[in-house]
Amino acid sequence: MFQTNETFTTSIIAYDNEIDIFLKFIIIIYTSFEHYSYFKPIIKSNTDFFPQQSSNLNTLSIQRAILVFYPSSQEKYYLPEIRWLYRSWIEMIKYESNQWRTDLIIFTEQYSSSLIQLGCLVNQIRTNNDEQPKCRVFIYLRISARHINSLTKQQTIFANDSEKNLFHIDISRSILLYNHLRTYPYIDSVNIIAESYSIYSYYDFILKTDLDVFITKQFANYIPNTLKTLIAGRGGYSTQFNTLRLGRIARDMNWKYQNLTNVGSTWYGSPYVAQRIANLTLDAILHLFINEFCAAEREQKVGTLLWPDWHYGVLSMYGTHLAVNHLVNSEKLDVQNGSELLDQSTTNNDQNDIEKNNRLHLHCWHTDAPFSKFQFKENKYNHIDPHALINDRSSLGYAMRMALESRLMTFEELGQQLRNISRNKTNSSIFITQSNIFTALPIQ
The span from the first CA to the last CA of the chain, in angstroms, equals 56
Which whole-number Å values give the CA distances from 74 to 80, 128, 321, 352, in the listed order? 11, 33, 28, 36
pLDDT computed for residue 10 by the predictor: 31
Per the CB < 8 A criterion, the answer to whether 47 and 280 are in contact is no
pLDDT computed for residue 123 by the predictor: 97
- pLDDT by residue (tens digit) across 177-228? 999 999 999 999 999 999 999 999 999 999 999 999 999 999 999 999 999 9
Q: How far is residue 93's CA from residue 103's CA, in Å, rounded to a whole number?
A: 10
Per the CB < 8 A criterion, the answer to whether 353 and 394 are in contact is yes
Does a structural domain hold residue 155?
Answer: yes
Question: What is the β-pairing status of strands 334-337 and 229-234?
Answer: parallel
Does a structural domain hold residue 104?
Answer: yes
Which whole-number Å values give the CA distances from 228 to 27, 223, 258, 271, 381, in the listed order? 42, 11, 19, 8, 42
Expressed as residue numbers, the domain containing 92 is: 60-222+410-419
Q: Are 205 and 334 in the same domain?
A: no
Does a structural domain hold residue 437?
Answer: no
Q: How far is residue 290's CA from residue 99's CA, in Å, rounded to a whole number?
A: 48
- pLDDT by residue (tens digit) across 350-403? 999 999 999 999 999 999 999 999 999 999 999 999 999 999 999 999 999 999
- Kindly provide the b/e burial profile for residues 189-202, where b requires at least 16 CB atoms within 10 angstroms of the residue's own CB: bbbbbbbbbebbeb
Q: Are 235 and 192 in the same domain?
A: no
pLDDT computed for residue 60 by the predictor: 83
Angle at which helices 187-195 and 315-330 cross, to 10°: 40
Q: How far is residue 248's CA from residue 201's CA, in Å, rounded to a whole number?
A: 34
Q: Are 213 and 64 in the same domain?
A: yes
Query: DSSP 3-state assignment of 209?
Result: coil
pLDDT computed for residue 50 by the predictor: 60
For the chain, what is the domain count? 2
Single-letter amino acid, residue 303? G
Domain boundary among 322, 340, 358: 340
Q: Are 206 and 227 in the same domain?
A: no
Residues lower than pLDDT 70 in the chain: 1-56, 425-444
Q: Are 156 and 252 in the same domain?
A: no
Q: Are 152 and 273 in the same domain?
A: no
Q: Are 204 and 68 in the same domain?
A: yes
pLDDT computed for residue 422 by the predictor: 86
pLDDT computed for residue 425 by the predictor: 64
Does a structural domain hold residue 384?
Answer: no
pTM: 0.87
Q: Are 170 and 250 in the same domain?
A: no
Give percent helix, percent strand, percent coil of the chain, each to the nearest 5. Answer: 45, 15, 45
Query: DSSP 3-state assignment of 180?
Result: helix
Does a structural domain hold residue 279?
Answer: yes
| Residue 302 CB contacts under 8 Å (≥ 6 apart), including other chains | 27, 296, 312
Q: Are 129 and 273 in the same domain?
A: no
Which whole-number Å values give the CA distances from 273 to 268, 292, 425, in the listed order? 10, 26, 31
